[in-house]
Amino acid sequence: MRRKLLVYLVSLMTSVLVVGLSFGCTAQAPSQPTGAPPVSAPAKTFEWKFQSHWPAASLSYAPFKKFCEEEILKLTDGRLKITVYPADTFMPTKDMFEAWRTNALQGGTGSVYWTSIVPLQAVSGNCPFAFRDAWEVQYFHMQLGFEDALKKAHEAAGVMYWTEKWYPTAMISKKPVKTLADLKGLKVRSSGAIADMLKEVGAAPTMIPGAEIYTALQTGVVDAAHWGAAGGAYTMKFYEVAKYYVQPNLAFCATDWVAISKKAWDELPKDLQLIVDLALKERAWDRSNEYYMDEMDALNTMVTKHGVKVTTLDAEAQKALQAAAFKVWDQVAAASADNAHWVGVMKDFMKKLGYLQ
Protein backbone atom coordinates (compact mmCIF):
# COMPACT_ATOMS: atom_id res chain seq x y z
CA MET A 1 0.00 0.00 0.00
CA ARG A 2 2.79 2.45 0.92
CA ARG A 3 4.65 1.63 -2.30
CA LYS A 4 1.54 2.35 -4.35
CA LEU A 5 1.05 5.61 -2.48
CA LEU A 6 4.66 6.55 -3.16
CA VAL A 7 4.27 5.91 -6.89
CA TYR A 8 1.00 7.87 -6.95
CA LEU A 9 2.46 10.88 -5.15
CA VAL A 10 5.58 10.99 -7.31
CA SER A 11 3.52 10.60 -10.47
CA LEU A 12 1.21 13.39 -9.34
CA MET A 13 4.12 15.71 -8.56
CA THR A 14 5.76 14.92 -11.89
CA SER A 15 2.51 15.63 -13.73
CA VAL A 16 2.11 18.97 -11.96
CA LEU A 17 5.69 19.85 -12.88
CA VAL A 18 5.16 18.95 -16.52
CA VAL A 19 1.92 20.91 -16.70
CA GLY A 20 3.58 23.89 -15.03
CA LEU A 21 6.48 23.86 -17.47
CA SER A 22 4.13 23.54 -20.43
CA PHE A 23 2.05 26.48 -19.20
CA GLY A 24 5.13 28.62 -18.68
CA CYS A 25 6.41 27.93 -22.19
CA THR A 26 3.12 28.44 -24.02
CA ALA A 27 3.61 32.14 -24.67
CA GLN A 28 6.98 31.61 -26.36
CA ALA A 29 6.38 28.36 -28.23
CA PRO A 30 5.13 28.58 -31.83
CA SER A 31 1.57 27.34 -32.24
CA GLN A 32 1.10 23.96 -33.87
CA PRO A 33 -1.40 23.21 -36.61
CA THR A 34 -4.80 22.21 -35.34
CA GLY A 35 -4.97 18.47 -34.72
CA ALA A 36 -1.19 17.99 -34.79
CA PRO A 37 0.16 15.66 -32.09
CA PRO A 38 2.18 17.38 -29.32
CA VAL A 39 5.93 17.28 -29.79
CA SER A 40 7.99 16.33 -26.72
CA ALA A 41 11.65 15.41 -26.30
CA PRO A 42 12.28 11.85 -25.13
CA ALA A 43 13.14 11.59 -21.45
CA LYS A 44 16.82 11.08 -20.78
CA THR A 45 17.75 7.67 -19.41
CA PHE A 46 20.55 6.85 -16.98
CA GLU A 47 22.51 3.63 -16.59
CA TRP A 48 24.31 3.01 -13.31
CA LYS A 49 26.73 0.34 -12.18
CA PHE A 50 26.63 -0.75 -8.51
CA GLN A 51 29.01 -3.03 -6.61
CA SER A 52 27.92 -4.50 -3.29
CA HIS A 53 30.05 -5.49 -0.32
CA TRP A 54 27.91 -8.63 -0.11
CA PRO A 55 28.93 -11.83 -1.92
CA ALA A 56 26.26 -13.27 -4.19
CA ALA A 57 25.50 -15.96 -1.57
CA SER A 58 24.74 -13.42 1.16
CA LEU A 59 21.18 -13.20 2.48
CA SER A 60 20.93 -9.53 1.55
CA TYR A 61 22.44 -9.58 -1.94
CA ALA A 62 19.60 -11.03 -4.04
CA PRO A 63 16.82 -8.85 -2.52
CA PHE A 64 18.90 -5.71 -3.05
CA LYS A 65 19.73 -6.67 -6.63
CA LYS A 66 16.05 -7.33 -7.37
CA PHE A 67 15.01 -4.03 -5.79
CA CYS A 68 17.48 -1.99 -7.85
CA GLU A 69 17.17 -3.80 -11.15
CA GLU A 70 13.40 -4.34 -11.15
CA GLU A 71 11.60 -2.03 -8.71
CA ILE A 72 13.67 1.10 -9.29
CA LEU A 73 13.44 0.48 -13.03
CA LYS A 74 9.65 0.25 -12.76
CA LEU A 75 9.26 3.25 -10.45
CA THR A 76 11.28 5.43 -12.81
CA ASP A 77 9.46 4.19 -15.95
CA GLY A 78 12.72 2.78 -17.26
CA ARG A 79 14.60 6.06 -17.00
CA LEU A 80 17.06 4.74 -14.40
CA LYS A 81 18.64 1.35 -15.06
CA ILE A 82 20.83 0.01 -12.27
CA THR A 83 22.88 -3.17 -12.59
CA VAL A 84 24.13 -4.64 -9.32
CA TYR A 85 27.24 -6.81 -9.02
CA PRO A 86 28.50 -8.82 -6.01
CA ALA A 87 31.56 -8.09 -3.89
CA ASP A 88 34.96 -7.91 -5.60
CA THR A 89 33.55 -7.87 -9.15
CA PHE A 90 35.46 -4.75 -10.18
CA MET A 91 37.61 -4.00 -7.15
CA PRO A 92 38.18 -4.96 -3.51
CA THR A 93 35.56 -3.72 -1.08
CA LYS A 94 38.06 -1.40 0.61
CA ASP A 95 38.41 0.60 -2.63
CA MET A 96 34.69 1.18 -3.25
CA PHE A 97 34.30 4.43 -1.33
CA GLU A 98 36.87 6.14 -3.55
CA ALA A 99 35.15 4.66 -6.62
CA TRP A 100 31.81 6.09 -5.46
CA ARG A 101 33.37 9.46 -4.70
CA THR A 102 34.92 9.70 -8.17
CA ASN A 103 31.88 8.18 -9.93
CA ALA A 104 33.92 5.21 -11.21
CA LEU A 105 31.02 3.28 -9.65
CA GLN A 106 27.67 5.00 -9.39
CA GLY A 107 26.76 3.23 -6.17
CA GLY A 108 26.45 0.03 -4.19
CA THR A 109 26.29 -1.13 -0.60
CA GLY A 110 28.80 -0.83 2.19
CA SER A 111 29.34 -1.26 5.90
CA VAL A 112 31.49 0.44 8.54
CA TYR A 113 34.73 0.03 6.60
CA TRP A 114 35.54 3.70 6.09
CA THR A 115 35.53 5.29 9.54
CA SER A 116 38.80 7.03 8.64
CA ILE A 117 36.84 8.96 6.00
CA VAL A 118 33.54 9.30 7.87
CA PRO A 119 34.19 8.88 11.62
CA LEU A 120 30.44 8.94 12.35
CA GLN A 121 30.20 5.47 10.79
CA ALA A 122 31.70 4.15 14.02
CA VAL A 123 28.59 5.16 15.96
CA SER A 124 26.23 3.31 13.64
CA GLY A 125 28.55 0.43 13.48
CA ASN A 126 28.21 0.35 16.38
CA CYS A 127 28.29 0.96 19.96
CA PRO A 128 27.88 -2.77 20.64
CA PHE A 129 25.78 -4.16 23.46
CA ALA A 130 23.57 -1.07 23.24
CA PHE A 131 20.29 -1.54 21.36
CA ARG A 132 18.44 -4.78 22.02
CA ASP A 133 15.64 -4.64 19.47
CA ALA A 134 15.16 -3.39 15.91
CA TRP A 135 12.66 -0.67 16.82
CA GLU A 136 15.23 0.95 19.13
CA VAL A 137 17.74 1.30 16.29
CA GLN A 138 15.01 2.66 14.03
CA TYR A 139 13.97 5.23 16.61
CA PHE A 140 17.55 6.41 17.13
CA HIS A 141 18.06 6.83 13.39
CA MET A 142 14.73 8.12 12.18
CA GLN A 143 13.17 9.89 15.17
CA LEU A 144 16.23 11.18 17.03
CA GLY A 145 17.97 12.45 13.88
CA PHE A 146 20.98 10.20 13.52
CA GLU A 147 20.07 9.25 9.95
CA ASP A 148 20.19 12.88 8.85
CA ALA A 149 23.58 13.29 10.54
CA LEU A 150 24.94 10.28 8.64
CA LYS A 151 23.59 11.64 5.35
CA LYS A 152 25.26 15.00 5.95
CA ALA A 153 28.61 13.46 6.91
CA HIS A 154 28.73 11.16 3.87
CA GLU A 155 27.58 13.82 1.42
CA ALA A 156 30.44 16.04 2.59
CA ALA A 157 32.76 13.19 1.54
CA GLY A 158 31.15 12.93 -1.91
CA VAL A 159 28.78 10.00 -1.33
CA MET A 160 25.01 9.95 -0.74
CA TYR A 161 23.82 7.72 2.13
CA TRP A 162 20.73 5.67 3.05
CA THR A 163 20.55 3.06 5.83
CA GLU A 164 19.69 -0.26 4.17
CA LYS A 165 18.18 -1.97 7.24
CA TRP A 166 18.55 -2.43 10.99
CA TYR A 167 19.32 -5.95 12.12
CA PRO A 168 20.93 -8.18 14.78
CA THR A 169 24.53 -9.29 14.78
CA ALA A 170 25.44 -12.60 16.41
CA MET A 171 28.37 -14.97 16.39
CA ILE A 172 28.55 -18.54 15.10
CA SER A 173 31.41 -20.69 16.36
CA LYS A 174 33.17 -23.98 15.76
CA LYS A 175 33.24 -24.67 19.50
CA PRO A 176 30.93 -23.88 22.42
CA VAL A 177 31.25 -20.33 23.73
CA LYS A 178 29.60 -19.87 27.12
CA THR A 179 32.12 -18.34 29.49
CA LEU A 180 34.66 -15.56 29.66
CA ALA A 181 37.35 -18.23 29.48
CA ASP A 182 35.84 -19.47 26.20
CA LEU A 183 36.11 -15.94 24.75
CA LYS A 184 39.76 -15.50 25.67
CA GLY A 185 41.96 -16.29 22.69
CA LEU A 186 38.96 -17.01 20.46
CA LYS A 187 39.87 -16.16 16.87
CA VAL A 188 36.85 -14.25 15.57
CA ARG A 189 36.15 -12.75 12.17
CA SER A 190 34.89 -9.34 13.21
CA SER A 191 34.97 -5.66 12.30
CA GLY A 192 34.38 -2.19 13.67
CA ALA A 193 33.47 -1.50 17.27
CA ILE A 194 32.34 -5.10 17.84
CA ALA A 195 35.89 -6.23 17.10
CA ASP A 196 37.20 -3.67 19.60
CA MET A 197 34.80 -4.95 22.26
CA LEU A 198 35.79 -8.57 21.68
CA LYS A 199 39.46 -7.70 21.83
CA GLU A 200 38.89 -5.94 25.16
CA VAL A 201 37.70 -9.22 26.76
CA GLY A 202 40.64 -11.21 25.38
CA ALA A 203 39.35 -12.53 22.04
CA ALA A 204 41.49 -12.26 18.90
CA PRO A 205 39.36 -10.50 16.24
CA THR A 206 40.51 -10.23 12.64
CA MET A 207 38.88 -8.60 9.62
CA ILE A 208 38.17 -10.98 6.73
CA PRO A 209 36.06 -10.06 3.66
CA GLY A 210 32.69 -11.77 3.47
CA ALA A 211 33.58 -13.95 0.50
CA GLU A 212 36.49 -15.49 2.45
CA ILE A 213 34.79 -16.22 5.80
CA TYR A 214 33.62 -19.76 5.01
CA THR A 215 37.10 -20.89 4.02
CA ALA A 216 38.60 -19.14 7.05
CA LEU A 217 36.24 -21.08 9.33
CA GLN A 218 36.80 -24.32 7.47
CA THR A 219 40.60 -24.12 7.62
CA GLY A 220 40.85 -22.83 11.17
CA VAL A 221 42.06 -19.34 10.33
CA VAL A 222 39.23 -18.27 12.64
CA ASP A 223 37.20 -20.16 15.24
CA ALA A 224 34.10 -17.99 15.00
CA ALA A 225 32.57 -15.23 12.90
CA HIS A 226 29.72 -12.79 12.66
CA TRP A 227 28.19 -11.85 9.32
CA GLY A 228 24.87 -10.41 10.31
CA ALA A 229 23.27 -13.06 12.49
CA ALA A 230 21.43 -16.33 11.81
CA GLY A 231 20.32 -15.33 8.31
CA GLY A 232 23.82 -14.42 7.20
CA ALA A 233 25.28 -17.57 8.73
CA TYR A 234 22.64 -19.71 7.03
CA THR A 235 22.86 -18.32 3.50
CA MET A 236 26.67 -18.37 3.64
CA LYS A 237 26.46 -22.01 4.87
CA PHE A 238 28.64 -21.40 7.91
CA TYR A 239 26.61 -24.11 9.68
CA GLU A 240 28.50 -26.70 7.65
CA VAL A 241 31.72 -25.92 9.52
CA ALA A 242 30.51 -24.13 12.70
CA LYS A 243 27.83 -25.73 14.89
CA TYR A 244 27.36 -23.26 17.77
CA TYR A 245 25.23 -20.13 17.57
CA VAL A 246 26.08 -17.74 20.38
CA GLN A 247 23.62 -15.55 22.26
CA PRO A 248 22.89 -12.81 23.25
CA ASN A 249 23.31 -10.69 20.13
CA LEU A 250 26.55 -8.74 20.03
CA ALA A 251 24.68 -5.73 18.70
CA PHE A 252 21.55 -4.54 16.98
CA CYS A 253 23.03 -2.66 14.07
CA ALA A 254 22.36 -0.39 11.17
CA THR A 255 25.74 -0.93 9.58
CA ASP A 256 24.60 -1.87 6.05
CA TRP A 257 23.95 1.17 3.89
CA VAL A 258 23.26 2.15 0.30
CA ALA A 259 25.77 4.46 -1.40
CA ILE A 260 25.25 6.60 -4.48
CA SER A 261 27.97 8.75 -5.97
CA LYS A 262 27.13 12.41 -5.36
CA LYS A 263 28.35 13.17 -8.86
CA ALA A 264 25.90 10.64 -10.33
CA TRP A 265 23.13 11.83 -7.99
CA ASP A 266 23.53 15.45 -9.03
CA GLU A 267 23.09 14.45 -12.67
CA LEU A 268 19.60 13.04 -12.01
CA PRO A 269 16.61 15.33 -12.58
CA LYS A 270 14.72 16.28 -9.43
CA ASP A 271 11.80 13.95 -10.07
CA LEU A 272 14.07 10.90 -10.30
CA GLN A 273 15.92 11.99 -7.16
CA LEU A 274 12.60 12.15 -5.34
CA ILE A 275 11.55 8.69 -6.55
CA VAL A 276 14.84 7.04 -5.56
CA ASP A 277 15.04 8.82 -2.21
CA LEU A 278 11.51 7.84 -1.17
CA ALA A 279 11.93 4.28 -2.44
CA LEU A 280 15.15 3.75 -0.46
CA LYS A 281 13.62 5.22 2.70
CA GLU A 282 10.59 2.97 2.43
CA ARG A 283 12.73 -0.06 1.65
CA ALA A 284 14.66 0.33 4.92
CA TRP A 285 11.44 -0.32 6.83
CA ASP A 286 10.25 -3.16 4.61
CA ARG A 287 13.64 -4.87 4.42
CA SER A 288 14.16 -4.69 8.20
CA ASN A 289 10.87 -6.49 8.85
CA GLU A 290 11.54 -9.03 6.12
CA TYR A 291 15.08 -9.63 7.36
CA TYR A 292 13.97 -10.24 10.94
CA MET A 293 11.49 -12.90 9.82
CA ASP A 294 14.22 -14.51 7.72
CA GLU A 295 16.41 -14.53 10.84
CA MET A 296 13.87 -16.57 12.79
CA ASP A 297 13.42 -19.03 9.95
CA ALA A 298 17.17 -19.39 9.36
CA LEU A 299 17.96 -20.11 13.00
CA ASN A 300 15.17 -22.67 13.26
CA THR A 301 16.41 -24.39 10.08
CA MET A 302 20.02 -24.51 11.27
CA VAL A 303 18.94 -26.00 14.60
CA THR A 304 16.40 -28.53 13.33
CA LYS A 305 18.06 -29.62 10.08
CA HIS A 306 21.77 -28.97 10.45
CA GLY A 307 22.57 -29.78 14.06
CA VAL A 308 23.44 -26.28 15.20
CA LYS A 309 23.17 -25.68 18.95
CA VAL A 310 22.35 -22.35 20.58
CA THR A 311 24.69 -21.49 23.44
CA THR A 312 24.26 -18.53 25.79
CA LEU A 313 27.03 -16.56 27.41
CA ASP A 314 26.87 -16.72 31.21
CA ALA A 315 26.35 -13.70 33.45
CA GLU A 316 30.08 -13.14 34.01
CA ALA A 317 30.83 -13.10 30.28
CA GLN A 318 27.94 -10.75 29.55
CA LYS A 319 29.03 -8.40 32.32
CA ALA A 320 32.57 -8.35 30.91
CA LEU A 321 31.28 -7.61 27.41
CA GLN A 322 29.10 -4.79 28.71
CA ALA A 323 32.07 -3.22 30.53
CA ALA A 324 34.16 -3.59 27.37
CA ALA A 325 31.36 -2.02 25.34
CA PHE A 326 31.35 1.06 27.58
CA LYS A 327 35.05 1.56 26.85
CA VAL A 328 34.44 1.18 23.12
CA TRP A 329 31.61 3.72 23.25
CA ASP A 330 33.99 6.22 24.84
CA GLN A 331 36.65 5.49 22.21
CA VAL A 332 34.07 6.02 19.46
CA ALA A 333 32.99 9.29 21.08
CA ALA A 334 36.59 10.52 21.20
CA ALA A 335 37.00 10.25 17.41
CA SER A 336 35.17 13.52 16.66
CA ALA A 337 32.85 16.14 18.12
CA ASP A 338 29.97 14.69 16.09
CA ASN A 339 30.69 11.23 17.46
CA ALA A 340 30.73 12.56 21.02
CA HIS A 341 27.38 14.27 20.50
CA TRP A 342 25.68 11.19 19.05
CA VAL A 343 27.12 8.76 21.59
CA GLY A 344 25.69 11.12 24.20
CA VAL A 345 22.28 11.05 22.52
CA MET A 346 22.45 7.25 22.42
CA LYS A 347 23.36 7.00 26.12
CA ASP A 348 20.44 9.27 27.05
CA PHE A 349 18.15 7.03 25.01
CA MET A 350 19.55 3.91 26.72
CA LYS A 351 18.78 5.49 30.12
CA LYS A 352 15.19 6.13 29.08
CA LEU A 353 14.93 2.48 28.07
CA GLY A 354 16.25 1.42 31.48
CA TYR A 355 19.45 -0.20 30.11
CA LEU A 356 21.78 2.31 31.79
CA GLN A 357 21.72 3.96 35.18
Measured CA to CA, the distance from residue 203 to residue 185 in angstroms comes to 5
Residue 238 lies in a domain: yes
Residue 123 lies in a domain: no
CATH code for the domain of 348: 3.40.190.170
Query: What pLDDT score was predicted for residue 255?
Result: 85
| Cβ atoms within 10 Å of 239's Cβ, excluding its own | 21
Whole-model pTM: value is 0.77
Query: What pLDDT score was predicted for residue 50?
Result: 98
Query: What pLDDT score was predicted for residue 152?
Result: 97
Residue 184 lies in a domain: yes
The answer to whether residue 42 scores a pLDDT higher than 90 is: no
Query: What does the mean pLDDT of the chain come to?
Result: 88
The answer to whether residue 167 scores a pLDDT higher than 90 is: no
Residue 78 lies in a domain: no
| Upper half-sphere CA count for residue 320 (Cβ side, 13 Å) | 18
Residue 37 lies in a domain: no
Q: Which of 235, 244, 241, 231 is nearest to 183 (CA)?
A: 244
C-alpha distance from residue 166 to each of 13, 18, 209, 256 (Å): 30, 37, 20, 8
Residue 274 lies in a domain: no
What pLDDT, in 10s, does the model give residues 217-243? Answer: 999 999 999 988 998 899 899 999 999
| Residue 115 near residue 122, CB atoms below 8 Å | yes
Query: What pLDDT score was predicted for residue 35?
Result: 57
Residue 234 structural domain:
168-253+306-352
Residue 263 lies in a domain: no
| Residue 159 near residue 257, CB atoms below 8 Å | no
How many domains does the structure of the chain reveal?
1
Measured CA to CA, the distance from residue 152 to residue 57 in angstroms comes to 32
Residue 281 lies in a domain: no
